[in-house]
Every structure is written in structure tokens, then in C-alpha cells.
Structure 1
């Protein structure tokens, strides 16, 4: 018997960004062009549903090129970007490769390289072991770029006297995530050079603004996304900071917390940049089995960014 009314505020924009859409399309078009299997180095995007779907279509996911037994098959590099060494290794193996690095990540790579060539020592603000961070640090020779993850590390960072210093940031961190760290760095080293344009990706910014916009009105907030998706985890933090303490990540192993939903009148829903819309639809359909649901989609900005796939796949 449905008797509880539940209002859903659906955050928009949410879900797939242009870089993720392009990466998935690259895998699908590669399978069309080269036949199955094609190999993908690292999860193409951080979402189990997407990875499983592509696996069913003929993609084989590996962490390193060495794992690929049949080197005559093409390999695709994930949207997060790869260290410089990886395309070089692929060439040495005489492998066909397709680079699905998000163009916004590639932009940071080029920026880091240009700053390095201009004589700067680099700082990357980001999360250790995230594939994007590994890829960006791998654009430059060892020792010429340092990672700073938080304010404490910024406070303790040892600035070498006679070096010109510049910083770049991981794209999936928001302006809020990086501003305190940047403040510390600028205070300690006023000559530090920042990126020419903001490196934060438009999709990260838009999704976080959309969540901020509705979180304070919600009793409970859900972000649909994977546990290893940096931007999904951030969205949960943003919802909490913006006034909805009860904010949770819903991932592939999650049980829906009906007990908490029972006590709520308004719930917010968003999804990370690598989460397909079908997961949001499935989640809402589950709620409709138990509650009388009304949905209000709250859009703060229209996104019309499209990134083209590499010419060789057309």
C-alpha cells in the first residue's frame, strides 16, 4: 500500500559529461571498426555498469599493456589520460592505439608541458593514485612535478629558492576543493603561477553548482555513481556541505536505505559524470514501487559541449 508521498528534486545537469560520452563512443566505434576484442587500458570511465556493458560488446579491460596477449589487437587509453610512456610503449609493441583521454585533461597535460619547457617546477593539486593524476605527472620527467593533496601538504611544501614555480589541478576537483590549497600556496609563494584558464572541468563545476542549489531543501540526498569515481564522491561532500547532512553515494552494491527515505519528505538526486542516466531511472523506479512520487527537475544551466571522436574512427 503506497501512502507516503515523496518529492524528488532532480539535479540538472547530472550524469554523463562530454568527455565520458566521447570515451564510450570511442570504444564502441573501435569495436565496430576493428572487430572484437579491443583492449582498454584501465576502466574507460569509473562506472561498473558502463564497463560491464562494453565488456559484453567485446572490450577487454587491462591495467597494463603487458597483460595484452595479442598485441595485434587495438588498445584504447581511458578518459583519465595516461603517462607519456604508455603511447611510447604501444609504439614499441607496434600496437594500434586510440587515445580516449578527455580533451580537458589533455589541455592540462599540454599546459604542464609548456610550463615545464618555460623553466617552471610544477605542483599538481590532486588525489594520489587517481589515474588522472598518474597521467598528468607522467607527462614530465621524474622530479619536475610534485603532488599536493591538501592544505597541510601545501603548508609544509618545501619551495626551492631559485626555482620558478607553477601549479595545475586535477580536472575533477571543484573550485571549492582547490581554493584553500591555492590560497596557502599563493600566501607562501606570491610569485607562483596559476593556470592560464581554470583547469576545473565545466561538468564538475556545473554538477556541483546544481547540487548546491537544491541540497539545503532536501531531507536526504543521493548521488548515483561508483565508489572510485572522484567526481561522484565529491558530489556527496558538496551536498553535505551545502545543507543536507544525510547525503549518500548509491553504487552498484548499495542497498536502498528505505528506512531513511520513510522519514524524509523531500529527497535530492544527482549522478556523477560517469554514471549513465539509466541508473537514475532505475533508482527512481524502485522508489515508485513504494511511494507516491512527484519529480521536479531543477536545471541551473544547459550543457551543449560535444567532443569529437578521433578522425581514424569515422
Structure 2
């Protein structure tokens, strides 16, 4: 039986970013150095396939530090943690390794500088997301106000409208964030912004690739986890850029083939915490059903690499 033809537009960049790559490497190196078990506070990155793979090697994932024994190493996830967490680890004399993405740490440093300068901070981010919780937890209670939407900006009640700064979660939609920033600047003309955009290069690059291929696609599949902010934003970006249908899938088994019935071109990308093996799995699933032609859509080249902490490069 002849397979129907289908063009797959394959976004590049896609998948793992330097921060995710570093975080996974940190867990693997910690297991090599100290042996199993090594504890990890929160999912090291938001991807069940990655987490399950590390769990099989001896990583134990917990939500809070009090679930960790004091005599085993603990790793803080790539999303960052409030200042109270490393403080508690030191008080308990625990060995800990901070896998916070350096680009998230940069936002933490910005927040601290604004606070030292006497400014109250507005964080553009998603309430309850680990990165937002970690960043807001860098400063004392009440020093960071959260804005998720343009509507939230109108409801902000800062103590001094002329003494404000703003920072953002690194994995937001570039377009949505621009609207919130514009609203902040319109309401608080004296507000201080970051020297360089807080949304990380990987988030921006992946959104640009989706934006470039969306008009040529009948559908877009984003490989990523439902709790991955940057993956969910890719779905939104694809729809806004002109693609009539976009779906988030963790694995090939989740593809809704009925929704793709009649499609002649499908775009494929992946969030920053999705490994390439899952993208290949999705491509193979299409190959089983269609006569595919793969067209790369390259909008940027990435060669960023972050060093792992010194404690893991030193002998045990």
C-alpha cells in the first residue's frame, strides 16, 4: 500500500539548551563522584524521559530539602531555588551542588542589585513555576511583585511608583512579554529594565524557528512536557504565527493522528528540556505512516556551553 506524501519541517535550533545539558551532566557527574543515591530537589529539568533515565542511574527526586538525608549529596534543579534552600542545606552541613542555569542566576543577580539600589522589583513570570518561585525567593517578602499578564500590571500596588525595576522569567513568550513590558513602561515611566533581555537565547531561538516555519505548516508538533514553560510557549507561538493546529506531545505515542488527517506539511520542534532521541522517535512514527520529505528550518546556530561547578571537577 502506497504511503501518502508528507513534508516535515524540522526546526533548528530545537531540544536541549546549554543550561539543560549542564544540569543533566551535573547529576551524572555527582553519581560518578559520590555514588548512588544522589538527591535532586525538584525535577532537574522538566522532562519525564530525562528524569526517569537519571532515576534509573540512582538519582532520587524530592520536592523539599527535609526529604533528603543529611549524609547524601543534594542537587538543586536548573530552575533555581529561593535563598532559603542553600541556607538550610548549609545549616544541616549537607553537601550540595547548585545546577541553576547560569542565565537564571544572572536574573537572580539583577534582582539583588535592584534591591541594593533601593528599588522594588516586578517579576514578569508564571505564578508557581519553580523558576519564578526561586527568583522571587532571592529577596525578602514583599520586595518582588508578580505580573503574569497585561491586566496584572494595572493591579500592581508598588510602595513607590518611581522606584521600580523589572525582571522576567527566562522561558516566556517573547511577544507576550513585550506587551507586558510596554504596559509597565506606560504605567511606570521611571521603571528600570535589564541591561540585556532576561528571556534566554535558547527560548528566543526556538521561538524564532517556529515562527519561521509556521506559515508553511498545516500542523506543528512540539516535543516537550506539559509542565515545561518554554515548550508550552512554542505551541502558542506556532498558532499565533499562522499555523492552524499545534500540539504538545511528550512521546510519539501521544500524537493525535486524527487531528493530522489531510495534512500535507507538519512542523516538528522540541522544548529546551527534550532530548533529540524523542524527536527522532516522532520522525520515525511519521515515517511509518507517510512517505516523508524532511526540510530543515535553520534560523540560528548555537555553540553555547556552560561549565559544571568546580566541586564536580575535583577528585572525590
Deviation at 1:163, TM superposition (A): 5.2
Residue aligned with 1:216, SS: helix
> For the residues of structure 1 that align with 2:70 and 2:265, how far apart are their CA atoms?
53
Q: Which runs of 4+ in 1 moved over 6 A?
A: none
Residue 12 of structure 1 is matched in structure 2 by: 12
Deviation at 1:272, TM superposition (A): 0.1
Q: Which sits farther off after the overlay, 185-194 or 257-266?
A: 257-266
Q: Please list, as runs of the form range in 1=range in 2, the aligned pairs for 1:136-175 lying within 5 A after superposition.
A: 136-161=135-160, 164-175=163-174
Separation in structure 1 between the aligned mates of residue 2 and residue 259 of structure 2, nearest angstrom:
16
Give me the whole-angstrom Cα distance separating, in 2, the residues matched to 1:270 and 1:287: 14
Given that residues 161 and 188 in structure 2 are in contact (C-alpha distance below 8 angstroms), is that contact kept between their aligned partners in structure 1? Answer: no
Alpha-carbon shift at residue 14 of structure 1 (Å): 0.3
Preserved contact between residue 132 and residue 170 of structure 1 (Cα < 8 Å): yes
| 1:313 pairs with 2:308 | no
Q: CA RMSD in A?
A: 1.2
Q: Secondary structure at the match of 1:140?
A: coil
Q: 1:260: how far off?
A: 2.8
**What residue in structure 2 maps to residue 106 of structure 1?**
105
Deviation digits for residues 229-270 of structure 1, max 9, x if unmatched? 000000000000000021110124953222233310000000
1:55 paired residue number = 55
Contact kept, 8 Å, 1:226 with 1:252, in 2: the verdict is no
Per-residue CA deviation, residues 165-206 of structure 1 (Å, 9 max, x unaligned), is 100000111321211111111111100111111111000000
TM-score normalised to structure 1 length: 0.97
Residue 24 of structure 1: aligned partner: 24
Provide the secondary structure at the position in 2 that maps to 1:51. helix
Q: Deviations over 1:13-46 (max 9, x none)?
A: 0000000000000000000000011000000000
Structure-2 residue corresponding to 1:96 = 95
Given that 1:13 and 1:299 are in contact with CA atoms closer than 8 Å, whether structure 2 keeps it comes out as yes
Distance 1:81 1:29 in 2: 19
Name 2:46's counterpart in structure 1.
46
Q: Judge conservation of contact 2:168–2:199 (CA < 8 Å) in 1.
A: yes
Q: Which moved more, 1:233-242 or 1:188-197?
A: 188-197
Asked if the contact 1:47–1:226 (Cα under 8 Å) also holds between the matched residues in 2, the reply is yes
Match in the other structure for 2:233: 234
Which runs of 5 or more residues in structure 1 are unaligned?
Answer: none
Question: How far apart, in 1, do the equivalents of 2:290 and 2:161 lie?
Answer: 65
Offset, 1:110: 0.4
Per-residue CA distance 1:76-101 (angstroms, 9 max, x = gap):
00000000000010111111000000
Q: Offset at 1:71?
A: 1.5
d(CA) in 1 for partners of 2:161, 2:290: 65
Equivalent residue number for residue 124 of structure 2: 125
